[in-house]
Amino acid sequence: MNDRLPLGFWQWAQKTPDRLALVAPDGDEYSAGRLLDLVNQLSHGLRSLGLQKDDGIALMLGNGPEWIALALAGSQIGLYYIPVNYHLTGEEAAYIVNDSEAKVFVADAAYSGAARIVARQTSRQAVQLYSVGAIEGFRPFKDIHDGQPVTLPENRIAGQNMNYTSGTTGKPKGVRRPLMPVAPEQAAQLGSLLAGLFDIQMGSRDGVHLCAGPLYHTAPGAFSLMGLHIGQTLVLMHRWDAEKTLQLIENYRVTTTHLVPTMFHRMLALPEDIKSRYDVGSLKTVIHAAAPCPQEIKRRMLEWWGPVIYEYYGATEGGGTSVKPKEWLLHPGTVGRAWPGSTIKILDDNGNECQPNVPGTVFMGSPIGTFEYYKDPEKTQKSRYRGLFTVGDVGYLTEDGFLFLCDRKSDMIIVGGANIYPAEIEAVLLSHPKVADAAVFGIPDDDMGESVYAVIQPSDNCPDKNALKDEIARFAAAKLAKYKLPRGIEFRDELPREPSGKLFKRKLRDEFWKNANRRI
């Protein structure tokens, strides 16, 4: 007897409606039948609001059942669901809602200040406003689904996400792909092929996925929905916490999760008695990406959790590469080889392909289809070359096809004509036990053009900052060439990071370029 669940949440939820499908951050548990009823009611409700195929719904929501249900609803009636980062200002969020031409905007009352600005800066006729919790001028979220049928809607067709790039340079842009003219289940099955890269079992009745990052980011949202589509129970965290992660892994026997290196670093920093308190033996696949992971941090995670740490390289625009634990141990530091159907090429500034082990700009060809930056053909064209695209990363390929990343091209420091990659220096600094976080970037230097500068978040309260500065400088000098060493170090209580692990280095660098003379 085949005990596997069918792929596609809508299918297995009908077959096993009593099975646990979702655990909300507050502990509220949704059976598959309960979640499916909400998804179907939202599908009917959104259509009753006048939404048609290719229309969009913008979501400024925390990690909760409403986000998941809206995404699943849009995914079966041909809509684009557009996640909005709830850390954005009202003006920034309004830009995304307006630029995406969303027909419905759903916000959480926790972000009412920004949501009200969105309401003021959008046309009420063009955008219908709903809120989870009370926001003045917004209709209650339940008004979308109350009284609607719980049956599957007719004329079902696959929808998908439309994520916005983080906007590290200029305005963020929506990454938009044409909708596939297929049934939702077919799209879910195609999307679930990614699970095979990470040895994740599909249709397993005991699979549990922990969503530790914000759903508005591409990877946490994609892996969470993929987990539901392949039959996993989804456990949601709203705000990440190191010990809480270990608790949830033990309590729900979590089998898969997606984390970022900053989370690894902070879990490793927990006291030994806390780390040993929780059973993480249920983990089978822990996927990480989004930021460079220092080799020592990854080795320590492998020693703690065993050979379950998988890595990939990609972007909102597509990808990519992946590497399994044993492969990484044989090629430490790699982000893997190209996925089946992907193309990875390293090109120099003239568009010529680089020889093995020679750094250049990383270009990719993705198996998930073409994309456009919504309403920005110029940026779309600039990102492409001979059918490939780049997000500006620098790296090199070995003779056997393993990709190693150096850094973002825009982050590279040029000191007297020598190229220096901050990620290498940051990895060394992060391996110091008293460093919780680190950012390295270039600041103006009249003689050398740029010099290397480091901003560090200490791991605990340190009364003698000068002594710590000297200790870190000696530590770095033993591991880095002299020309790579920071010429200046200062401390901050916290660095500007997204919950996804992405470091807003521009916020630091811009400050230093404006005030370089005062700092040096």
pLDDT tens figures, 24-83: 999 999 999 999 999 999 999 999 999 999 999 999 999 999 999 999 999 999 999 999
For the ranges 227-231, 336-340, 435-439, 500-504, the lowest mean pLDDT is seen at: 500-504
The number of folded domains in the chain is 3
> Is 303 domain-assigned?
no
> Is 87 domain-assigned?
yes
Phi/psi at 387 (nearest 5 deg)?
A: 85, 0
Cα→Cα distances 137→62, 73, 84, 116, Å? 20, 24, 19, 8
The pLDDT score that the predictor gives to residue 142 is 98
Rounded to an integer, the average pLDDT of 350-364 is: 94
263, two tokens: 């989370």
Residue 151: Cβ-neighbour burial (10 angstroms; 0-12, 13-18, 19+): exposed
Task: Assess whether 152 and 90 both reside in one domain.
Answer: yes
The CATH number that applies at residue 108 is 3.40.50.12780
pLDDT > 50? residue 427: yes
Q: Which residues does residue 88 pair with via DSSP β-bridges, in sequence order? A: none
Task: Assess whether 372 and 416 both reside in one domain.
Answer: no
Task: Assess whether 74 and 178 both reside in one domain.
Answer: yes
> Is 470 domain-assigned?
yes
The pLDDT score that the predictor gives to residue 170 is 61
Q: Which is higher by pLDDT, 295 or 519?
A: 295
Task: Assess whether 81 and 146 both reside in one domain.
Answer: yes
Q: Which of 157-171, 286-300, 419-433, 465-479 has the highest mean pLDDT?
A: 465-479
pLDDT > 70? residue 274: yes
Report pLDDT digits (tens) over 376-392.
Answer: 888 888 778 888 888 88
pLDDT > 60? residue 118: yes
Question: Can you tell me the distance from the alpha carbon of 113 to that of 401, in angstroms, rounded to the nearest whole number?
Answer: 49
Report pLDDT digits (tens) over 119-178.
Answer: 999 977 789 999 999 999 999 999 999 999 999 999 999 999 999 986 544 678 899 999
> Is 10 domain-assigned?
no
Task: Assess whether 75 and 207 both reside in one domain.
Answer: yes
The pLDDT score that the predictor gives to residue 463 is 75
The pLDDT score that the predictor gives to residue 518 is 40
Angle at the Cα of 226 from the Cα atoms of 224 and 229, rounded to 5 degrees: 115
Domain boundary among 409, 429, 463: 409
> Is 312 domain-assigned?
no
Question: Can you tell me the distance from the alpha carbon of 324 to that of 262, in angstroms, rounded to the nearest whole number?
Answer: 20
The CATH number that applies at residue 349 is 2.30.38.10
The pLDDT score that the predictor gives to residue 499 is 67
The CATH number that applies at residue 429 is 3.30.300.30
Residue 209: Cβ-neighbour burial (10 angstroms; 0-12, 13-18, 19+): buried
Domain extent, residue 114, equals: 30-183+199-220
pTM: 0.84
> Is 283 domain-assigned?
no
> Is 98 domain-assigned?
yes
Task: Assess whether 354 and 489 both reside in one domain.
Answer: no
Task: Assess whether 178 and 204 both reside in one domain.
Answer: yes
Task: Assess whether 46 and 116 both reside in one domain.
Answer: yes
Q: At 520, is the pLDDT very low, low, confident or very high (cuts 50, 70, 90)?
A: very low
Task: Assess whether 52 and 142 both reside in one domain.
Answer: yes
Cα→Cα distances 146→44, 150, 202, Å? 10, 10, 33
Q: Which is higher by pLDDT, 107 or 427?
A: 107
Task: Assess whether 215 and 86 both reside in one domain.
Answer: yes
Residue 478's Cβ-side half-sphere holds a number of Cα atoms within 13 Å equal to 8
> Is 332 domain-assigned?
no
Domain boundary among 391, 409, 427: 409
Task: Assess whether 405 and 462 both reside in one domain.
Answer: no
Domain boundary among 367, 387, 409: 409
Question: H helices then E strands: how many in the chain?
Answer: 18, 28
The pLDDT score that the predictor gives to residue 326 is 96
Task: Assess whether 387 and 505 both reside in one domain.
Answer: no
